Amino acid sequence: MKEKLVRVGFVGAGENTRRRHIPGFRAQSGVELVSVANRTVESARRVSQEFGIPRVFDNWRDLVNDPGIDAVCVGTWPNLHCEVTIAALNAGKHVLCEARMARNAHEAHQMLMAAQAHPGLIAQVVPSPFGLVHDRYLRKLIDDRYLGELREVVVISADDAAWDYTQLLHWRQEIEISGFNMLTLGIMHETVSRWTPPTIRVFAQTRIFEPRRPGRESQGQVDVSVPDSVQVLTNLEGGARGIYHISGITLFGPGRQITLYGSRGTLRWSLRGDQELVELARAGETALKPLELPPEKLGGWRVEEEFISAVRGLERVTRTDFSTGLKYMEFTEAVARSSALNHPVDLPLKALT
């Protein structure tokens, strides 16, 4: 049977879109990359020429309303994710939205409601790439009670990515563009949430250690509005406790790792360069040992494949639907609220009064 043709347009074609999504879509048979709209017409033309995308739009609204496309890949900064996604869904287009889902939980709620109003369309958020290699196997281990009763969760993502204050202000350091998410908090929480019960309470503190940086579009110094140091205590459904250390100003820091401590065993995921490492051990063993799996048990990145397959009605989205994206958006906003108010915040998130 001939595959259904899927024509894709790109609103925003930054680094991740060019590195992952465009090649990922091109690798799928029966998929045409037909149009692009970027921050400027000039940058859109460069993408068009680099990847052979035939049509350039100078206005993203014209692209999402174009009857010549079936799906929109939203690769803009987060400040446009909500607006572009809702417009595309209302125009009858399937949507793959780059993470982070939106700037805040309110925008994420709006996006979810728009998706629910169009049940025949696929709405997917680009997932955290962390943990995908071992995810299926780890989930089975946990379900089979390898850990016993989960007791503690430790999430660390600490490096020096934001240490050099002479570097230009990054969009992730501007709350108007990036929203309430801080550093790698959202991506790490999305990853660990695949393996743990839901978080029901957070108590956080944050700080901006480097408050000024050179602006991207001026020669002067500008304010940093997103913290570069975050610590969070969490309560999980079922009684486990969590600790998050997220930092961009940690010289010679430990990098990225997630450790689950249970009554019968321990499991640690970590990132060593570009390679994922899983170590584990149970009571009675002397030390954590590396997990070595045969290739057929390993997973990996298949976001564009899953999206196109879902559009064709061949599978459902598992990484990541809008309902799941909303949960990590509520978590990141709860952390911001807790830090600002200096008291715990419960999840699911309640509206501010």
Q: What local confidence, expressed as pLDDT, does residue 135 receive?
A: 96
Res. 3 pLDDT band, cuts 50 70 90:
confident
Domains of the chain with CATH codes: 6-128+302-320 (3.40.50.720), 135-300 (3.30.360.10)
- What would the pLDDT profile of 318-348 be if each residue is shown by its tens digit? 999 999 999 999 999 999 999 999 999 999 9
Report, as an integer, the average pLDDT of 92-118.
97
In whole angstroms, give the CA distance from residue 318 to residue 310.
Answer: 10
Report, as an integer, the average pLDDT of 96-119.
97
Whether 84 and 76 have beta carbons less than 8 Å apart is answered as yes
In whole angstroms, give the CA distance from residue 186 to residue 202.
Answer: 14
- What would the pLDDT profile of 15-74 be if each residue is shown by its tens digit? 899 999 999 999 999 999 999 999 999 999 999 999 999 999 999 999 999 999 999 999
Q: In what order do the strands lie in the sheet with 123-125?
A: 55-56, 31-37, 6-11, 71-74, 94-97, 123-125
Helices (H), the chain: 15-16, 22-26, 41-51, 60-64, 81-90, 105-116, 135-143, 175-178, 185-193, 303-311, 322-341
pLDDT at residue 180 tops 70: yes
- What would the pLDDT profile of 137-171 be if each residue is shown by its tens digit? 999 999 999 999 999 999 999 999 999 999 999 99
Report, as an integer, the average pLDDT of 230-241.
98
Res. 353 pLDDT band, cuts 50 70 90:
very low
More confident residue, 272 or 188: 188
Res. 351 pLDDT band, cuts 50 70 90:
low
Res. 273 pLDDT band, cuts 50 70 90:
confident
Dihedral of alpha carbons 246, 252, 257, 260, sign: negative
Q: What local confidence, expressed as pLDDT, does residue 183 receive?
A: 97
Report, as an integer, the average pLDDT of 70-92.
98
Task: Identify the weakest region by mean pLDDT among 58-72, 110-124, 195-209, 211-225.
Answer: 211-225
Q: What local confidence, expressed as pLDDT, does residue 218 receive?
A: 76
pLDDT at residue 282 tops 80: yes
